[in-house]
Structure 1
Amino acid sequence: MDDTAYNPDPKAHPGLHAIALFEGAKGVLALAFAGGLLALGPDRLRESVQAIVSRFIPDAGPGAVSEWMQRINPEAIHVTVLIIAVYAGMRLLEGWGLWRARAWASWLGCIGSAAYLPLDVYALYHHPGWHTWALLIVNLVIVWVLWRDIRRRKRI
């Protein structure tokens, strides 16, 4: 562990800035996706899903997808958009806090990223490949940087 004293200046934390940009980008992309869902609406979304299913699963019978298609309605879209908006808000808030080197943001990011690690290991076991390794390594680096920041703060 590094014995360097913690520097409270936000400019002294390029690792936190990189993670802040990453989290902010996830938040912006989530908001764009939510906006896309609202713009499509249930009818065009059903058409898009049907086109994707028929393209990639040509032997899917009409009953296989019809139950899912019936669940695409305005209420379901609004609930989904609300959930995505909350997720985006959390990512943007975390990015803002990390950019300003706030302790609560390091905790939020560390816990949030660590929660994905078991899923990353599961994905690596069932779908080994460079992309699953990359995802696991990125999440491990994020957890390590944020945990290191938390530990340094405790020494003040």
Structure 2
Amino acid sequence: MSVVGQSPKGLKAIATLEALKGVLSLAVGFALHELGGKEIQHLCEALLQHLHLNPASEIPSVIMHSAYKINDHNLTLLALGSVLYATIRLVEAFGLWRGYAWTEWFALASGAVYLPFEIYAVATEGKMLPVLALVVNLVVVAYMAMVILQRRKEKHALP
């Protein structure tokens, strides 16, 4: 697998994943900003009512308590945070698609940062979604490490 000067299919797959994460983050950020605090509170109330959940029980009460703490200032900060996150993911996706070495390192580091949290979630929750997230992230981190090592090997092999 030659990495220097080209972008392998694996990098394009990871770039697509990162781009999807960026687009999803933008959609969530804009949705939060558009809904506003009162709308989110009404949405949470309607959802709990539709699911026939007792608002006084533990999880629904936490959801409602959190929803009532939401205000337009908090939503603006969340929306800005999601735009920043999306920007980072989309720049990373572009760089991976084009095969830029710095984005390969960035993808390795940003994936590795999440591993301890994902391992903890799998160990404490044992649910399928954290397991899936951990497996996907392990594959991405391992692949990025392989690409970086291959690039270094090819760079040192050049005359």
TM-score range, shorter chain: 0.7 to 0.9
Instruction: Please name the residue that 1:24 is paired with.
Output: 19
TM normalised by structure 2 equals 0.83
> Structure 1 CA distance, aligned partners of 2:66 and 2:130?
28
For 1:29, the aligned partner's letter is: L
Aligned length: 151
- Once residues 74 and 5 of structure 1 are traced to their aligned partners in structure 2, the CA distance between those partners, rounded to angstroms, is 50
Which residue of structure 2 aligns with residue 47 of structure 1?
42
2:56 corresponds to which of 39, 54, 60? 60
1:67 Cα offset (Å): 4.9
Contiguous gaps of at least 5 residues in structure 2: none
Q: Deviations over 1:10-51 (max 9, x none)?
A: 2xx000000000000000011011111122112111111233
Aligned partner of 1:15 in structure 2 is 10
1:118 aligns with 2:116: yes
Which structure 1 segments of 5+ residues have no match? none
Q: In the TM superposition, what is the alpha-carbon distance from 1:7 to its structure 2 partner? A: 3.3
Q: 1:104 aligns to what?
A: 102
> More displaced, 113-122 or 65-74?
65-74
| Letter paired with 1:60 | A
- In the TM superposition, residue 102 of structure 1 has moved relative to its aligned partner by 0.7
Aligned-residue Cα RMSD (Å) equals 2.3
After superposition, residues 65-84 of structure 1 pair within 5 angstroms as: 67-84=65-82
In structure 1, the residue corresponding to 2:91 is in which secondary structure? helix
Q: 1:24 to 1:65 in 2, by over 3 A?
A: closer
Deviates more, 1:76-85 or 1:60-69: 60-69
Consecutive aligned runs of 4 or more in structure 1 exceeding 2 Å deviation? 4-7, 49-57, 61-71, 129-134
**What is the TM-score normalised by the length of structure 1?**
0.85
